[in-house]
Structure 1
Amino acid sequence: MSRTLGPAEVTPRGEGPFDGRITTYRLAYLQVTTVEADAERVSRTQALTGGSPRALVAVAVQMSGTATFVQDGRRVEVGEGDLLVYDASRPYSFDRPRRFATRVFQVPRRVLGASDTAIRQATGSVVGTADGFGAILLPFLTNMASSADGHPPAVANRLAGMVVELFDTLIAEQAHDGREDADAPSHLVRRARDHIDRNLRDPDLYPEGVARTLGISVRYLHRLFEGEGTTVGQLIRQRRLEECGRELARRSRTAPAVSAVAQKWGFVSPAHFSRAFRTAYGVSPSEWRDLGAGRPGADLLTSSR
């Protein structure tokens, strides 16, 4: 246990012989460890934390049995099929009253984009897997663990990177679910903005699709943007208008058709586009086009991102 999951005291709970089995392997910087054992208590004390060579964050899958987990004064019950987030480098304890099986995924703290505050808030979070993000994460981890041996280094690194992205999302969602936190998970906001920029031409680009891509709820996506001074829908419309403005103001031998530019950047209705453009910039799209790239506002629009 100490070699694979970090220095800890392990005490069998039963009177008779103790039976247990540990298997572990690495996928680039990701370590996957499966533990099957009789009832036990595991305690990682403050005195033992100095024996860990590096900071690790873990997500455990309770494959069978149950556990009571304690860290940072937070006590939670982990049931079969649940996911548990914890900091593997700081003091914690597990109490497992009967035979169990668990699979632990450990990643170095340094590869995560989550803040220290978010990780501490997510510590001890039990995530159900019947629905929501847990229902997405569990089969991915299960399938990856069952077929992880023998991957070439390039594939192993990509898979490990995917796990880190998923863990970042899980930590951010748990850290903000019912808890106050002044530090917004900026990496998720950046990913949302990047996704919007890459898909501006898709007329079906809506907040629901952005949230689905990030693996978070629409409600949580809107909460991420509360500190950005805009909503997700407003950001999509603003970015589309900016791209349309640039294209319409660009000097060329033939003036682009307003309807064609609007359609190219995801506006389905030309009338809606014209109204939105006039509201944003004070002139119609055709007037903007006719004024050309020499108009001062065109320069401002080009540099507004």
Structure 2
Amino acid sequence: MLTTASVPDLDKVAYWNNAVSRTLVPMTVAPRGDGPFDGRIATDRLGCLRVSTMEADAERVSRTPALIARSSEALVAVGVQVSGTATFIQDGRRAEVGEGDLVVYDTTRPYSFDYPERFTTHVFQLPRHMLGVPDSDILEVSGTVIGPTDGFGAVLQPFLSTLATSAHSYSPAVGGKLANSVIDLLATLVAERTRQVPADADTAGSHFVLRIRNHIDRKLGDPALSPEAIAKAHHISVRYLHRLFEGEGITVGRLIQQRRLEECARELARRGRTAPTVSAVAQRWGFVSPAHFSRAFRAAYGVSPREWRTLRTAQDDVGRSPGGAPTPSCTVADRPGAGLPPSSS
């Protein structure tokens, strides 16, 4: 954290110029007010991703060709406007940035931010080559403002905002994984904005849903698995988690139970000399109460877990030919999970 709080008034502007240039990239800062300037900036690193939060009085920030010549690193940046407004200019494009908006820009070309009032912004910077997209595509996207209600804005804004406020708390291993997620999302954003993927495809949302579904499958045996735990693990709000699943035809809680029941049904149907007890199977897949498990299983499959095991074992015996090979008579209705009622939200 660098702050002007303890700096003499006459030295505040020079100190702030140096602090911003050291934390982000070399820039010039010109305060818009006449009184003593106040500003603070904090920064963290998550793998190759630099995450900074800047709060300051009204100012104009400029990145000039001379300053660019002093920088050896080519970076792509995303700004998340937390409070206040800004006017951003790059490559002749002028963008008005409001609270909650995201703006993408390239530090290798001149740009400026004009903040007419006190503001707070999160800035995410990563090496340009990490995106793996052509420079021409980055040029096309630079200066683009994504609103918090846009398809990508609805995904990126809460994720990046949470990441910025909690970046200091992650281990290097977790930080690296989170940085990779940001890279994937930004590369998808560039692809969408340059029409390399259909404009109406909610690719970023699908990316999150797939990650969450995989997370659920990995954690099925954890009794503490819940929408709240999933949201915390993915650094999003529970409300936003439910929004992601609005188009999935099933709620998160229902999906957890459905997947647990499917795994229990599959294991109960498995033949073996030492078959585990029904309660052991239920516990292995995250059910704490045997009574609750039995009720949920009967509601989904129409029979009790013990009856399911008996029926499946009998069907398996009947469905085998004299040579011992399974006959190709298995239908969709025979498969574990086929007896589940239609998914609903």
TM-score past 0.5 threshold: yes
Change (3 A) 1:20 1:259: same
Structure 2 spans left out of the alignment, 5+ residues: 1-19, 210-323, 336-345
- Structure with the bigger RCO (C-alpha within 8 Å, sep 6+) is 1
Corresponding residue of 1:148: 167
Corresponding residue of 2:149: 130
Contact 1:70 1:93 in 2 (8 A): yes
Counterpart Cα distance in 2 of 1:66 and 1:210? 29
Q: How does 1:286-301 map to 2 (within 5 A)?
A: none
**Cα-to-partner distance string for 1:104-144 (whole Å, 9 max, x where unaligned):** 01111111122211111000000001242211111111222
Q: Does residue 1:49 correspond to 2:68, yes or no?
A: yes
**Cα-to-partner distance string for 1:70-116 (whole Å, 9 max, x where unaligned):** 00111111011100011123210111111111000111111112221
TM-score by length of 2: 0.53
Contact 1:169 1:215 in 2 (8 A): no
Q: How does 1:141-220 map to 2 (within 5 A)?
A: 141-176=160-195, 184=196, 212-214=205-207
Structure 1 spans left out of the alignment, 5+ residues: 177-183, 189-206, 217-252, 265-305
Q: Does residue 1:95 correspond to 2:88, yes or no?
A: no
Larger radius of gyration: 2
Corresponding residue of 2:43: 24
Counterpart Cα distance in 1 of 2:146 and 2:159? 15
Question: Which moved further from structure 2: 130-139 or 72-81?
Answer: 130-139
Contact 1:46 1:91 in 2 (8 A): yes
Counterpart Cα distance in 1 of 2:129 and 2:208? 22
Q: Does residue 1:117 correspond to 2:170, yes or no?
A: no
TM-score by length of 1: 0.60
Alignment RMSD: 3.2
Equivalent AA in structure 2 for residue 37 of structure 1: A
Change (3 A) 1:209 1:35: closer
Contact 2:62 2:112 in 1 (8 A): yes
Counterpart Cα distance in 2 of 1:49 and 1:208? 36
**Cα-to-partner distance string for 1:185-215 (whole Å, 9 max, x where unaligned):** 7xx9xxxxxxxxxxxxxxxxxx979774247
Displacement of 1:5 in angstroms is 1.4
Counterpart Cα distance in 2 of 1:259 and 1:50? 69
Displacement of 1:174 in angstroms is 2.3
Q: Which runs of 4+ in 1 moved over 4 A?
A: 207-212, 253-261
Of 101, 105, 122, which residue of structure 1 is paired with 2:124?
A: 105
Matched residue SS, 2:40: strand
Displacement of 1:36 in angstroms is 0.5
Change (3 A) 1:53 1:256: farther
Counterpart Cα distance in 2 of 1:2 and 1:104? 13
Contact 1:169 1:214 in 2 (8 A): no
Contact 1:7 1:52 in 2 (8 A): yes
Counterpart Cα distance in 2 of 1:40 and 1:9? 10
Equivalent AA in structure 2 for residue 119 of structure 1: I
